[in-house]
Every structure is written in structure tokens, then in C-alpha cells.
Chain A
């Protein structure tokens, strides 16, 4: 658990992060979202002491980080940034092995971990271990950057706009991978982005920042339904709200009995995808397929009800 307690950072007297209090539960993804310059990066970098707070405290699992030497704290916390920050003169394998080496892991253990992570990110170890970073595509570099951050099995992973430089298709894939990895290892992730769509897709909780202040911290559904300020509402996009709401749930959770005609939709798809398909094909209902069997239907009427503002 990360407890941020009334933290403030001033540069030349100007508060860049202003009295932020935030609790991040273990094994969740907290997405910090806001316009550029709102202090997201500064807030995140105070968690691993890359920035010293002007006042306030941060505790990790109850322990005040002020008492931990910065380099020791950082070796316990994964850190991935936009533009990956890979060391251009070291191989993919050496890059991933950075923190294990700093921690003094033995060679075999490190090598095994490197291969394990490469496989996890769908990069064939034999093929990629000895490549140089500039020999990889942007998406591959980004995956290696995250693999490097996870190398020493940290409980906490900090990510600063990790997908900012990726094209939409590769970004969607990377987000999917991140969710899978988070579920598998139970890592607590703090992710910074300026993209509300990404925040809603990834976040267990979303923390909205503006001009250094924390405006609202809540689940995506709560934020969409009850934005705390007009600024939060604007960030979500007023006209987007029903679709954002639908994108939060899966078809599987809202199957109705009945039989519909035509091409079925997968139960793992989001309600938003189902809604799009309904509108596009001009049908009132779609059959739902789960493990190859038709288990019911989703209807236009049902989805319209779900998309409406919760009472």
C-alpha cells in the first residue's frame, strides 16, 4: 500500500504538486490523469524519491520512505518511462538484468529471469537476448523497458506515460499485456497518462489532477457518473460519457435470455463493442457466444439502459 499524505512540491515558490493526499491499495492500478503540466510526473517521482517533497510524507506498507536511502528504495520499485530509456550501448539482456545485477543476484538466476521476462512479453529469448535496443521496433523497445522495470520482482511499478509513443494498435496490445501481468503478479501499479480513455481502460482507481491539486480519486464508474468538478467532466468528455460507461463492463456480465439472429459476439467483448456492433448491423439484439456456445443475447434496449446515468 502506498499512502501519500498531504504532499507538496514547490519549485521557486510555485506549488507544482499542492497538498495531495492519496491512498493506493495493494494489487491495484492507480492511474494519475490530467493535462500536461498538472504535476502528474512530479507526484509520481516523489514515490521513488527522484523528487524530494517540500512537505508531507509518503509511506510504503506503513514505512515512511524518508528514512530509506534513495538508491535502496528505487531498487525495490519498478520504473518505466516514456521513450523507454533503455541503455543504447547494452544488449536487451543486459538492460533487463540491470536491477538484479545491482542487487547482486547470481548469474544463473539473473539469466533465467531475463529469459522468463522475454518470453512473458512474447519476445523469443534466443532471438532477442543479445540484440541492441536500436535493432528493435518501438513496441518491442517499450516491452523491454517494462520487462526491465519488472526484473527484480518489485511489488510496485511506476510508469510515466509508457504508451505515449506507440501507435493505437500496438498500444491496445501493450495495455492488454499490462493488465494480464498485473493480474498474474499482483503488482501495485501507478501509471501516469494524459489520456482519459487509457485511464478508464486500465485504472482500478483514477486520480484526476489539475494545476497541482488532486480533484478526484475514485473508480472509473464513479468518476464517469459523478465527476467532482466541471473540469473532470470535461476531461471525460460530456458526450462520451455513455460510451465510456459501457466500455467498463463485459458482455458476459449482462447476458439476457433469448435468441437473436445473425453473427454472434464474444462474451469477453466490452459492452461498448457490442453497442457499436448493434448500431452498425442495425439489429435489435446480438447472440452471445461463450466458449463456442450461444448462451443468450444482448439487446439494444438493455444496453441503452446501462448507458444511462446511474440514479
Chain B
């Protein structure tokens, strides 16, 4: 409640303080505001966790909050806030970068899922492969993100220059391609290892019974092993989705686009409002993805695990 009131009032005061007809002046909430928002957000999250709400209720609350914020934005009561003024002058760029950001984050996770789950399956079935693959992926995971983005510039530039058609597909040393590849590489370990762990945690008695009743290897996989491992695999996807939504901001450094563009522009010009224009949507997006996927994990694992 307090939080909601605060949000409405902040818009009001900004309008009151802006000199009429002046489009360059910026009124921004001070550090105190952000601290307060942060503290209340923590309180609310804590309260929600304590309530142990059923998963669909948590998604519902998330939608309600999103709806309320959308209403505030749409009503224009925040329009005089500094960050939204920045938005006003960059409306088109904002949505283009939003699209880039989503494509980078979701695209890399989708690709990693499509590649990682089968790879995890192979690791599960063939033990020697398991150790090798997981070791390589562990090493990839320890490369700092900026270094990985940088490392990929050279090989991809080479590919673009030497493989006919590659550059036509948008592959080049800088831009979205290396960013995509780096995010994909980071996503692979959690997805592969969660697939392996999930499959290993399937009750051996259930697998034995499935074999003993005459299920073929394929049927066993589709009917017993994968469904029982699914919540754990989904947890892996949740981890990388939240991680990649954050990491995708760094893609801006190598021309990959995304909300990072505003963050780094803002840092360059020491314009805090511009940084926030990139940072706030990123945080909100990551938070929403976490809530939705956590709820999904809980829904799918209900009854599937032994208490």
C-alpha cells in the first residue's frame, strides 16, 4: 500500500516541480527514494514468500503489479520523471533495443535448451562422455563474460570473412552474433548439468519397473525419465534465463544491442537517468522471469517428487 502511494505521489511531485514549458530540466527521485523503494520491495517479496502462495497466485500478483505499473505509465502521471523524459526522446530506440534484448536473452536460452537437453541425455547414458563434457562446460563458465565476448570476435570475424553466405546471415566479429554465441555458451552448463542431475534423480525402482513391464528405451525416456526429470531441467532453464537477461546488457559493449546500450551511454555521459532507462527494465524483466519460472517449476514438480 505504502509502496503504491509512493509511486503515485512521485509522479505528482515531479510534475509540480518541473518548470512549465521547459523540456530540458530533469527532476529525478533522489537516492532516498531508491533506497525506500528497494527496502519496501524487499519487505513485499519477503512477505510473499512467507505466505507460501500457490504458484498461480504468485503469477496473478505479478500480473496485477505489472498492470498497475502499466496503468501509471499510461496515465502519464510519471511523464515528468527524468527517466521517462529520457524515454520520451528515445522512444523508438527503446523499443528496438528492448526487442534486441529479448531476442538475445530468450533466443540464447532457447538455443541452449534445444542443444543442451539432448547433450545432457547423451551424458546421462554414456558415463565417459559425462565427465568430459561437464569439465569443458565448467571451464567455459569461469571465463569472465567480457573476455568471452571479446574472445569470440576473432573467430567469428574469420568465419564471416571466409565462409560464403555467413555474413549474409548476419554473422560478423562484432554485433549480435558473438553476443548470442557467448550467452549460448554460458547457458549450456546449467542446462546440461541439470538435465543429467534430473535424470539421475529419477527413482531407480520406477525405471526398473518400466523396463520390467516391457517399455522400450524410447518409451522409458518419454514416459518416465524425462517427465520425472523435467522440474530439475526447468530449474536449469530458469537459472540461465534470469542470468542471460542480466548478461545481455554487456552485449552492448560489442555492438550487440539491448538495454545495455542505454546503460553504457548513460555511464559515458554520467547521466544516471539514462542508466536507469536501461537498468530498470532489465531488473524488472529478470525478476518477472524468475517469478514465472519458479511458479512453473513448482507446478510441474507437484506430486512428481516424493516428499
A interface residues, Cβ below 8 angstroms from B = 48, 50, 70-75, 79, 81-89, 98-99, 102, 132, 134, 145, 148-149, 158
Contact = CB atoms under 8 A, between A and B. Distances in A.
Given A89-B303, A134-B307, A84 B205 contact: yes
B227 A102 contact: no
Given A83-B205, A86-B206, A89-B227, A132 B212 contact: no
Contact of A74 (B213, B228, B307): B213
Interface of B: 203, 205-206, 208-216, 219, 223-224, 227-228, 303-307
B34 to A, nearest CB: 45
Contacts of A82: 205
B219 to A, nearest CB: 7
A103 B305 CA distance: 28
Contacts of A83: 205
A102 B304 contact: no
Q: Which one of B210, B211, B212, B228 has the greatest number of beta carbons of chain A within 10 Å?
A: B212
A72 B216 CA distance: 9
B303 A71 contact: no
Closest 7 CB pairs of A and B: A85-B209, A74-B214, A79-B212, A75-B214, A85-B205, A89-B304, A132-B303
Given A81-B205, A81-B208, A88-B206, A72 B214 contact: yes
Nearest to A73: B214
Given A85-B212, A86-B206, A87-B210, 10 more contacts: A71-B215, A75-B213, A75-B214, A85-B205, A87-B209, A87-B224, A89-B227, A98-B213, A99-B213, A134-B306
Nearest to A95: B209
Contact of B303 (A79, A88, A145): A88
A81 B214 contact: no
B219 A88 contact: no
Nearest to A71: B214
15 contacts: A50-B211, A74-B212, A74-B213, A74-B214, A79-B212, A79-B213, A81-B212, A85-B205, A87-B223, A87-B228, A88-B206, A88-B304, A132-B303, A145-B209, A149-B213
Contacts of B210: 87, 98
Nearest to A45: B212
B223 to A, nearest CB: 8
A72 B303 CA distance: 31
A85 to B, nearest CB: 3
A286 to B, nearest CB: 45
Nearest to A72: B214
Contacts of A158: 212
A74 B211 contact: yes
Contacts of A148: 209, 213
Most buried by A among B203, B211, B224, B304: B211
A149 to B, nearest CB: 8
Contact of A102 (B208, B211, B219, B305): B219
Given A79-B209, A134-B303, A134-B306, A88 B215 contact: no
Contact of A88 (B203, B213, B214): B203
Contact of A99 (B214, B223, B228, B305): B214
B201 to A, nearest CB: 11
Contacts of A72: 214
A134 B228 CA distance: 14
Contacts of A74: 211-214
A75 B227 CA distance: 22
B209 A88 contact: no
A86 B209 contact: yes
A50 to B, nearest CB: 6
Contacts of A73: 214
B135 to A, nearest CB: 28
Contacts of B208: 50, 81, 85
Nearest to A101: B223
A102 B214 contact: yes
Contacts of A132: 303
A98 B32 CA distance: 62
B212 A88 contact: no
Contacts of B223: 87
Contacts of A84: 205, 209
Contacts of B216: 71
A228 B272 CA distance: 91
Contacts of A88: 203, 206, 228, 303-306
Contacts of B209: 79, 81, 84-87, 145, 148
A86 B306 CA distance: 11
A160 B133 CA distance: 37
